[in-house]
Structure 1
Amino acid sequence: MTEATQRTSDAGVSIWLDDLDRNRITSGNLKELIDTKNVVGVTTNPSIFQKALAQVGPYDEQLKELGKINVEDAVRELTTTDVRDACDIFSDIAKKTDYVDGRVSIEVDPRLAHDTENTEKQGELLWNMVNRPNALIKIPATLEGLPAITATLAKGISVNVTLIFSLERYEQVMDAYIAGMVQAAENGHDLSRMASVASFFVSRVDNAVDKLLEENGSDEAKALEGKAAVANARLAYKLWQDKFDSDPRWPALEAKGAKRQRPLWASTGTKNPAYSDCKYVDELIAPEIVNTMPEKTLNALADHGVGKPSIEGTYEESQAVMDKLAELNINIKDVTDELEADGVAKFIASWDSVLADTQAGIDRVNA
């Protein structure tokens, strides 16, 4: 293991890779990252599968076997195969960590982001198709996604809640998780084998807020550039600590083997070249955190990451950042609402490309 990734792991951060494709699985690259860079899980999303399925070659053999299949069914077969195979690679880690880590995520169709009933149905379908205990079903944290999260957990299905940007929505997500675990217990499921993470997006907040600060142009605004995203995430960690320490439902669930839904930092690749390429890892280190990162960020961390705790003791400073933004008439709720809508739209666009590329593959191998 590299020193920096080991330090980060020792500080309580589970390092997950935010990427997956068939070449990474079959070449041994994924196993190599486990062995050399402390990678203990994987997340996928529609944009990741867009890149994967656009490749000519890696998926042709399975497409030939599937024949002239409906494109929607083909995409599900291809993606669940990759996730199932990745789950098998992480199986030992899952068992060693009591199914806390070793998890691989697959997301419901983003076009269902505002459709509670069909999100719930597809979440169960994907779970059954992957058929591995260390899978996670990704459901967006839209208002319509919240009841689907609870209903999916109630079936004993582990969930990764994605596209969280605001503290307000994050609290609703944790409530949805606890409610789902209460129902899972009532339904007789083994809570000790279940897990959940709440994917709180980071760098996109700086992208949006920094533009507003640049438009303001004042010295006060300039001083806040690059600070909103980390402050927002640090306050989310405090919210997480407070929630699971104080919610009256939690002790009984924990006694039945339930695990706290861990915060997961997503969108951790640095977009602004003026900032450290490890910024959204090194500035957000604390116990029981998951950080899912693209390979470029993982390599930067391995090469020169600090890997030391950096959240505890920063809450007053973080709140001060948010207060100063408000004084400059930057409404963080407006920012995060727009980011959520934009995130859903981007994933839908990626999914449309997935369908088009897969249809092209079906046509090509069956020509």
Structure 2
Amino acid sequence: MKLVHLTRRAACVLLLSAAGGLAAGPALAQTPPPGAAKPTVVIVATGGTIAGAGASALNSATYQAAKVPVDQLIAGLPELSSVANVRGEQAFQIASESFTNDKLVTLGKRVSTLLKDPAVSGVVVTHGTDTLEETSFFLNLVVRTDKPIVVVGSMRPGSAMSADGMLNLYDAVVLAASPSAKGKGVLVAMNDDILSGRDASKRVNIKTSAFSSPWGPLGMVVEGKTYWFRTLAKRHTAGSEFNIDEIEALPEVAIVYGSGSMNPALYDAAVQGGAKAIVHAGTGNGSVPNYAVDKLKAIRDKGVMIVRSTRVGEGGFVLRNAEQPDDKYDWVVAHDLNPQKAKILAAVALTRPQTTAELQRIFWEY
């Protein structure tokens, strides 16, 4: 049995055989200038929907993730050979909700090692979309390089009609091979947009336009060309004070989600679970209900960091000493980072001893 897979490129038809073999339609890649040496891009695959497959072309939301190995992804997109010398590595083959701190550290170290090779121009990381935003921010914080790192996923498996993975992967390789992407931090290539790994976030779970940033994209990839609109103002990659080569493990950081009539015992459970910091995903401006304030103060007195973030989905921005007297309580605010990104930054920062003032500085700068 063969299934016809449609992509956003009307001229390209992907055939996926029952045995898992891949073949692709006519090449549309834009080639480097004559005589120019092609860059080398390494695709580090971790699984996810971009490597997924469903039972039929109608299964765009019901499928098995992490089924197609990286070599088959590359073989199914011969246009990549016109952009760069591409090779693949299979780091993991998992759905991204199964990413752990240990896997983050392992991935970060491998990407760092690859980019130390003078022959490697950039790295693409294929990733499931559920935790893509955490991994991209983590790499943005800890890999000391100005070479492009591009994290890419898809919202539909390759077996679905109008699958988005092929074009997303093509765009990611274009970015990783492009000199214009150097020094711009970790990038996310999704749905034609170039997003910053620092603030890209998954906003919806069943559309190809799932990823966005509250501050807008950095640029776009259109027909194999990059177009830039802005750059990231926050510290990242080569300008970071953190270095994956010096990190062996990440401390436990917990998120407690705020709501009406919440149970303060959730904070105790986080401490009992070994949390070195608690991210309070509060309502509005990171608000803390009056019946939970004393609980958080007592936890802070025990040495656990308290970080006020917000559950607001788009453009959340927590102001220090607004809603709560953070200076008085010795708490930290997450600035514009959502709870899951605040968790990543707190974990990376707490690989070293930190005062509250230093941790707050880190949240302002990153």
TM-score using structure 2 length: 0.31
Larger relative contact order (Cα-Cα within 8 Å, sequence gap ≥ 6): 1
Pick the structure with greater CA Rg: 2
Q: Which has the larger share of helix?
A: 1
Q: Which has the larger share of strand?
A: 2
